């Protein structure tokens, strides 16, 4: 029990202690904090209290503007930090409780804080790990006989997402532009997305990375998973439908991804562990594990708009419905030797993919920064065309972004335009590669690194859309309205098939057991009208 008062329905008791990054109006510096009740404990103020063997010489990590360095220290440091925090916040410990001067500097009311992304997200991977969701979407487009692709039950399917357009909860998401083909008997048209959607997902942030060429084994994967966040994988369904063959999602997904600001650690989630989903066929040995690594996390999605007196809940689901575990995702991600870094973000997929970088990637309204390098397809068009397409959705690109062609036949400016047309943002140093130049790297943890792919602290990995077994647990408007054939009643005469401008999507998640609630807070985003393009 903490000396800080915590209401029974609060998401942040002493059993939770999630990490986040915040600033205040009187101090614009980004600081690492821990949520306790309705307050934030500023770790930069109390860093001297972390005196254990792992953190005594690493107190400086709590002066950093992101969690990356702390996440990179590893599991022993994470456990020690949690133990130290629970000790200093305990009702029986006087070091903070009885020091009024230190308390005044160390605690900040949450309603006075400005929250930021918890990590510098160098890489973001989105998985497609809900069998219910994958089957539903497959039924819509291929029929029940061919709903699941042959590989789906053998490996965790995923794609490499757009890290630069990951934003913190509360950030508005602009309705993207892109190519669509509403009438299959006519050529495609260009304009704002008309079938804008949310996807209920969760994601985890990675800790210590691996060296390029050295996979993370299934028995070590847990040591690389720091904690989890809520996630909304915003989706432009009409853009996605026209573009996704043969390479998968691109502009339909690069326009923005929202995550919750508080990272709930795996240690805090341990009491809510439940058995893994039965997997048939049995996974290959490199993916197989018997120990439970699934979690009972209650999830809800609500939509708010001007016509409602309160947000309307449209989905109730649970993370425990996921087919592939996070350990399997990370192992598969690195089985090629792919490297991960601290802070990489990995998403579950809708709870009920794939960003490729090119100039085509920016046709979403993506922003491009000095030094962005983008290569053409088979190099027979203009590079400026590629850049325009890349950013047309609003995708942002930054200095140094590298974009490679497919097999090289257009101009680089063509690639960049397409890449950002949805509003997708591109950052300095981003690398954009073609198909074979003609293939691609996919990053989940054992599967993600089985090739030897390297990962660094802060990689974000998403589950994919989460959904349960009943219609009220569907994880996207695509399923709730069944491809636009039904309407969703929000109340007060408001109905939806897909999201309208100014709709706010609110995702909530928490675990509860024996009277203790460990929650994630909320993950919110409002749909902003499309820009007027000149």
Binding annotation for substrate: 128, 142, 240, 244, 350
CA dihedral in degrees (305, 311, 314, 319; nearest 10)? 120
Per the annotation, the verdict on 133 as an active-site residue is: yes
CA pair distance 239, 272, nearest whole angstrom: 38
**Residues 209, 337: contact at Cβ < 8 Å?**
no
Q: What CA–CA distances, in Å, run from 479 to 194, 273, 301?
A: 16, 28, 13
Contact 317, 431 (CB under 8 A): no
424-180-234 Cα angle (round to 5): 40
Burial 202-216 (b: 16+ CB within 10 A, else e): bbbbbbbbbebeebb
Measured CA distances, 392 to 45, 155, 169, 365 (Å): 43, 33, 23, 4
Burial class of 3 by CB neighbour count within 10 A (0 to 12, 13 to 18, 19+): middle
Query: What residue has token string 């068009």?
Result: 381
| Spatial separation of the C-alpha atoms in residues 236 and 256, rounded to whole Å | 10
Identify the DSSP state of 65. S
Residues marked as binding for Ca(2+)?
A: 126, 199, 201
Catalytic residue among 28, 60, 87, 133: 133
CA distance from start to end of the chain:
59
- DSSP one-letter string for 369-435: -TT-EE--SBS-SBHHHHHHEEEEEEEEE-TT-EE--SSB-SBHHHHHHEEEEEEEEE-TT-EE--S
Q: Which residues are annotated as a binding site?
A: 126, 128, 142, 199, 201, 233, 240, 244, 253, 257, 350
Residues shown for the chain: 534
Binding residues for Mg(2+): 233, 253, 257
Contacts of 258 (CB under 8 A, 6+ apart): 166, 167, 168, 169, 171, 173, 231, 232, 234, 523, 524, 525
Residues with active-site annotation: 133
């Amino acid at each position: 029990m903490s000396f800080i008062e915590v209401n029974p329905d609060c998401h942040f008791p002493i059993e939770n202690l999630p990490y986040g990054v915040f600033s205040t109006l009187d101090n614009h510096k980004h600081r690492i904090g821990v949520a306790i009740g309705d307050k934030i404990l500023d770790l930069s103020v109390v860093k001297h209290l972390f005196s254990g063997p792992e953190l005594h010489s690493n107190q400086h990590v709590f002066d950093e503007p992101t969690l990356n360095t702390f996440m990179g220290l590893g599991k022993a440091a994470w456990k020690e930090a949690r133990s130290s925090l629970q000790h200093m916040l305990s009702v029986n410990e006087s070091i903070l409780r009885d020091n009024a001067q230190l308390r005044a500097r160390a605690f900040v009311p949450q309603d006075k804080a400005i929250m930021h992304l918890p990590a510098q997200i160098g890489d973001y991977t989105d998985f497609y790990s809900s069998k219910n969701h994958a089957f539903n979407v497959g039924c819509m487009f291929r029929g029940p006989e061919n709903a699941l692709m042959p590989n789906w039950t053998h490996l965790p399917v995923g794609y490499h997402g757009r890290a630069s357009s990951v934003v913190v909860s509360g950030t508005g998401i602009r309705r993207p532009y892109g190519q669509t083909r509403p009438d299959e008997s006519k050529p495609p048209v260009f304009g704002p997305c008309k079938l804008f959607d949310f996807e209920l997902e969760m994601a985890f942030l990675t800790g210590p990375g691996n060296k390029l060429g050295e996979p993370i084994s299934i028995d070590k994967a847990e040591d690389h998973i720091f904690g989890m966040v809520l996630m909304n994988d915003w989706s432009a369904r009409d853009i996605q439908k026209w573009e996704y063959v043969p390479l998968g999602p691109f502009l339909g997904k690069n326009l923005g991804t929202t995550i919750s600001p508080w990272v709930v650690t795996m240690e805090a989630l341990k009491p809510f562990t439940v058995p893994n989903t039965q997997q048939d066929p049995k996974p290959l040995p490199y993916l197989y594990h018997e120990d439970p690594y699934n979690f009972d996390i209650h999830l809800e999605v609500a939509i708010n708009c001007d016509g409602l007196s309160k947000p309307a809940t449209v989905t109730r689901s649970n993370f425990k419905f996921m087919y592939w575990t996070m350990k399997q995702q990370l192992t598969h991600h690195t089985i090629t030797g792919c490297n991960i870094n601290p802070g990489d973000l990995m998403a579950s997929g809708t709870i009920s993919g794939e960003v490729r970088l090119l100039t085509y990637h920016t046709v979403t309204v993506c922003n491009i920064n000095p030094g962005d390098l983008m290569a053409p397809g088979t190099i027979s068009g203009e590079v400026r065309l590629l850049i325009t397409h890349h950013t047309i959705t609003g995708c942002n690109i930054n200095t140094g972004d590298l974009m490679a062609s497919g097999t090289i036949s257009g101009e680089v400016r063509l690639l960049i335009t397409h890449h950002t047309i949805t509003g997708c943002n591109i950052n300095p140093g981003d690398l954009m590669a073609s198909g074979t130049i003609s293939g691609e790297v996919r990053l989940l943890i054992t599967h993600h690194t089985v090739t030897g792919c390297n990962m660094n602290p802060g990689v974000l990995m998403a589950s994919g859309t989460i959904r349960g077994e009943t219609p009220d647990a569907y994880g996207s408007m695509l399923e709730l309205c069944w491809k636009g054939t039904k309407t969703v009643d929000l109340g007060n005469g408001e109905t939806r098939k897909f999201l309208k401008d100014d709709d706010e999507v609110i995702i909530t998640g928490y675990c509860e057991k024996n009277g203790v609630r460990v929650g994630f807070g909320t993950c919110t985003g409002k749909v902003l009208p499309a820009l007027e393009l000149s």
